[in-house]
Amino acid sequence: MLFANCSSWAVRGPFAAVIIGLLAGCAGSPSRTLSVDGETFDLTNLDQQRASVVMAALSQVGTPYVYGGSDPSEGLDCSGLTQFAHAAAGLSIPRISTDQRAAARPVRLRPAPGDLVFFRTGPGQYHVGVMVDRDRFVHASTSKRHVRLSRLSRDYWRARYLGAGTYL
């Protein structure tokens, strides 16, 4: 369920992206916050394109993980999520995580909200997510079987981190 008053949003469920798109006019208001599963994200200082990528990614928290999935109504995989979030901001990016990494502009410093973070999760297995603040990122988790929030600072992700890239 989504609640909005142009200054504070709460998003739950895979259909929230449609509503967020309809409420995009709120994105220009001076105070923008987004709440997902009890966590609040302040998007006030983000430009509109970054905020759109972050909002679209966060709107998919709880969406089922489906290998090869690129449609939120059916389920998403990691690169389908990142492609969907960028499309919501009017950007076209490659479909596969390794192609997304190769085509993105490398981020040398700490990744910002909207930037992509890349991981090697096993031999020949790669993963991608969207940063939503300085530590948390949204990704389609194979182990948890849904789109979720995780922390880049966790040992598991730090050990597998390849770097960050951006299309913004």
Residues assigned a catalytic role: 78, 127, 139
**Which segments within 5-153 are labelled E, that is strand?**
8-11, 33-36, 39-42, 70-71, 75-76, 105-107, 116-122, 125-131, 136-141, 146-151
Tokens representing 27 are 């994105």
C-alpha span between 18 and 84 (Å, rounded): 12
